[in-house]
DNA sequence: TTATTAAAGGATAAAAAGGTCCTTTATTAT
DNA sequence: ATAATAAAGGACCTTTTTATCCTTTAATAA
């Protein structure tokens, strides 16, 4: 549903929202180590997010990435759009060509409300508000790199 | 969330459920044409599903694939498990390492109920019951191969 | 003005997913 | 028996995703 690239981009941008500002810029290296993702890959993603005006950067000593006030008002869907495009999130869960309320796939009425919920969340809440939620809850933003065969079921 | 492989496998197995039985076996070619997926790829998937005892096959003239009575009692989750493994369906939507009710990601409480719903549906309904639903509704089982950039939003 | 720092950019590589082709094996009808 | 049919199996190819490396550019501080 989301590519690794998008997930990395979302988590890293949320990290920026929590830890950076115009005065305190953060290097790719610091973020990559904290989120536990490959830093050259993140560098590429950040290049793209800068071009897309989702995040900001400056070069040189004390340079790095940060969110401008404008950036902070972007939302998570902007990140997904910038990295994956929005179409990965749309489309029938079972891949059906014609799947709508007229010709619904067997999971249509389970999937559509979920999609609407998550799209609403990603579209209506700014990155800064998202980050605020995370910091309120003390959520630990580290990616899951361990062997997926060890995962337990969702609770 | 589901690979193309899994989607192909699900739709093709549902096609079998609807159109085959021990007397009337169906070739890869017929199914691939009807669902509109690449037939050599489907042949591989079906090989694997046969090995996994999800579907049945016989070689030679009037041979092909079909569902035995035992096969018909399998459920969709068996197909997904056989092709993708179950872990693609589990795991945090944002890729977080520790994401549970103690340390929920920002979309945890949107994603978990959805996952439970869809897992329940995939686990508790047999392939035959699934197929019955489809045939009752007259759902058209054809894959979406058109350019996804042309897709409209989910309704 | 030079050394240092950190992102930008381009080229490339590795891995996974998706897809194809060809030969072998089993079945069945003639 | 033999020819025809259709799956099984193995090898291979292509595209996409993920990831790395190296050089260049911009900013800053000494």
Distance from CA of A70 to the nearest CA of B (A): 22
Instruction: Please report the beta strands in chain B, taking only residues with DSSP state E, as ranges in sequence order.
Output: 56-58, 64-66
CA-CA distances (angstroms) from residue B13 to B1, B42, B45, B76, B117? 19, 11, 10, 9, 21
Per-residue pLDDT tens digits for A122-138: 999 999 999 999 888 88
Q: B5: which nucleotide lies closest, measuring CA to C1'?
A: C18
Angle made by CA atoms B10, B3, A77, in degrees to the nearest 5: 125
Return d(Cα A111, Cα B125) in angstroms, integer: 17
CB B12 within 8 A of CB B2: no
Give the chain A residue whose CA is nearest to the CA of B4: A95
Helices B39-51 & B4-19, crossing angle to 10 degrees?
A: 80
pLDDT, one tens digit for every residue, chain B (155 residues): 899 999 999 999 999 999 999 999 999 999 999 999 999 999 999 999 999 999 999 999 999 999 999 999 999 999 999 999 998 898 999 999 889 998 889 899 999 999 999 999 999 999 999 999 988 887 777 676 543 333 333 33
DSSP string, A93-139: TT-BSS-SSSS--TTHHHHHHHHHHHHHHHHHSBHHHHHHHHHHHT-
Residues 58-87 of A with CB under 7 A from strand D: 58-63
The two beta strands, B64-66 and B56-58, are antiparallel
Give the chain A residue whose CA is nearest to the CA of B88: A148
Q: State, as a whole number of angstroms, the distance between the CA of B20 and the C1' of D18.
A: 41
Of the two residues A147 and B26, the one the predictor is more confident about is B26
- B109 touching chain A per CB within 8 A: no
What tokens appear for A67 in the block?
Answer: 């969110």
Per-residue pLDDT tens digits for A62-73: 999 999 999 999
Is there a contact between B118 and A107 if contact means CB atoms under 8 Å apart? yes
What tokens appear for A60 in the block?
Answer: 């040189």
- A102 touching chain B per CB within 8 A: no
Is there a contact between A36 and B133 if contact means CB atoms under 8 Å apart? no
DSSP string, B23-37: SS-B-HHHHHHHHT-
Return d(Cα B6, Cα B83) in angstroms, integer: 6
Angle made by CA atoms A118, A122, A127, in degrees to the nearest 5: 150
The CB density around residue B92, as the number of other CB atoms within 10 Å, is 21
User: Between residues 11 and 70 of chain A, which touch chain B (CB distance below 8 Å)?
Assistant: 11, 36
What tokens appear for B26 in the block?
Answer: 């169906």
The two beta strands, B56-58 and A64-66, are unpaired
The CB density around residue A4, as the number of other CB atoms within 10 Å, is 14
CB B125 within 8 A of CB B76: yes
Q: Which CATH number fits domain B4-84+126-143: 3.60.15.10, 3.30.70.2080, 1.10.10.10, 1.50.10.10?
A: 1.10.10.10
- B133 touching chain A per CB within 8 A: yes
Q: Which of A90, A130, A153 sits opposite B151 (nearest CB)?
A: A90
Is there a contact between A112 and B155 if contact means CB atoms under 8 Å apart? yes
Report whether pLDDT(A154) > 70.
Answer: no
Q: B57: which nucleotide lies closest, measuring CA to C1'?
A: D7
Q: Return the pLDDT at B153.
A: 36
- Domain chopping of chain A, boundaries: 4-84+126-143
Q: Which residues are CB-contacts of A97 (< 8 A; sequence separation ≥ 6)?
A: B36, B140, B142, B143, B144, B145, B146
């Amino acid at each position: 549903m989301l590519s690794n690239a998008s997930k990395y981009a979302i988590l890293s941008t949320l990290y920026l929202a929590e830890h950076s500002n115009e005065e305190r810029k953060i290097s790719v290296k610091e973020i990559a180590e904290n989120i536990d993702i490959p830093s050259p890959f993140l560098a590429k993603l950040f290049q793209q997010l800068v071009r897309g005006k989702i995040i900001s950067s400056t070069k040189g000593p004390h340079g790095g990435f940060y969110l401008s006030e404008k950036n902070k008002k972007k939302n998570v869907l902007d990140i997904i759009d910038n990295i994956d495009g929005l179409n990965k999130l749309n489309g029938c869960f079972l891949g059906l060509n014609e799947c709508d309320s007229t010709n619904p796939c067997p999971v249509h009425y389970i999937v559509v409300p979920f999609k609407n919920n998550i799209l609403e969340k990603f579209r209506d809440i700014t990155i800064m508000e998202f980050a605020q939620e995370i910091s309120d809850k003390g959520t630990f933003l580290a990616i899951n790199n361990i062997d997926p065969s060890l995962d337990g079921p969702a609770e």
